[in-house]
Structure 1
Amino acid sequence: MDAVELARKLQEEATCSICLDYFTDPVMTACGHNFCRECIRLSWEKAKGKKGRRRKGSFPCPECREMSPQRNLRPNRLLTKVAEMARQHPGLQKRDLCQVHQEPLKLFCEEDKSPICVVCREAREHRLHRVLPVEEAVQEYKSKLEADMECLREEVVKTEKMQAQEEQALAEWQAMVKERRTCILVEFEKMTLLLVEEERRLLQALKEEEEETTSRLSERKASLDQQSHTLEMLLLRLEDRSQQEPLQMLQDMKDTLASKDSLQVLCPEATPPMVLRTVCRVPGQVEVLRGFQGKWGPRVQTPDPRFSAALSLLAPQHHTGARAPGAGGGGGGPAW
């Protein structure tokens, strides 16, 4: 008897005929048959409702139908050990046995791609199918699996290479973006410093020009105010003399005419058109801004309106002078 047949016999001896599984707490009846304690109890529970002649406390054996007293059930400790050995035997695992016939799975059905036992081979389901011994099928499919695994290994290597290339491309792109971002921040920081410095210079120049021109115009205004006051006082004196008695008016005429002749009336020229020398022109910064716009403008779909407004404010303008009030034209503020 070979090892496989011996293992099969061991399995049969360790299997309960009721549950068809390895014994659990096996007991022996008076007729010498063995069953799981729970299996024989359930079997006798079902037999209670059946009619028939039997002695009180006795039940038929599920195998030989011989009456056996229930109290005579004896534990079979040896069979308990055999069942435990069968459970641990590697050749008697449930996956190695046919679920239908409880026979070893020795054949492999090519059509169904599943292992079968010798009883299944003769069944109608597999009778016309091509079958192989399990050992041959294992070798054949192992070779196929090796070929498939080799192809998969090659694909894994290719995928890993592509993954490494993509990771490198991503890292390079992120480095380029970081460098460009730093460049933009540095250039605009420089531009901001230049604009701030130019703003300070222009405001200082405008302040100096304002103080100089304001001082000159204030002096002219004060002189004209003084002359206006003197003329008004002389006019009042003349009006007063013209209202006196004729003889009295003639007596004071010499002094009156002397006062009028001694008065020096200033006739200043009209104030020339007022033109500010300080002009808001920042050509260097505008060139830089336009250079940035030309360099990166095509990449921007919608330019920032604040950027365009800044360009229009910083661009050189055509200026027209504003005439002072009363100098032959409407008054106006500084031209920017």
Structure 2
Amino acid sequence: MATSSSTLTDHLCCAICTEIFTDPVSLSCQHTFCKRCLEPTLEAGLTPRCPECRAPITDRNFQINRLVNNMADQLRLEQSRQENTRGQRSTGDECPEHGEAMKLFCVTDMKLICLVCKEGRDHREHAFKPVREAQEELMTEVVSALGILKEDLNKVQDKGESQQRNISSRGERSSQVKEKIRTQFEEVINKLKQREEEAMREIDRRDGLYDMLSQSIPPQLIIK
């Protein structure tokens, strides 16, 4: 069937563009081309000749070859159907090797297979499960794994929050210690200032007392 289709395609392809005929026209020499592919030959200015056999083209009043045109349309339609079928098979649940529905899951190879694959030597002594059963078990495993992952994530988040609280607590304690040291230091400075002021007042008092005593002593008793 493939050989027949390939041969038909060869007969329905234009020798100039190598594509399936579009608006095919036939010359007197019985060679056929797409009308648009033949137009440059007719417009060349010299005596036009057939691109294949070089026979002169005497009649330029071309008519579309309806028979060839219909066959070309049918060929394009068939090729489109075949491409769609191949696309559906490649994206569906059919075995790419045997074209059968893949109804089994090979536990050993962790892949979908068809009944023909099961009997082949590549899967001898392997363990199999129906696809639906394998899907349900896999979904259960996924849900379980997600649960464990969520628990681990919560633990990490809790640990992170705990560490953040510890850091904040340490920061608060550090601030408290700094504030206490600053307060104590200010108290020491204030006490020193008070003592300085008291000492200055005592010096002033003694200076005043000395002046007062000096004024009360008779001049003749003052030692010069």
- State the TM-score, normalized to the length of structure 2: 0.48
Rg comparison, structure with higher value: 1
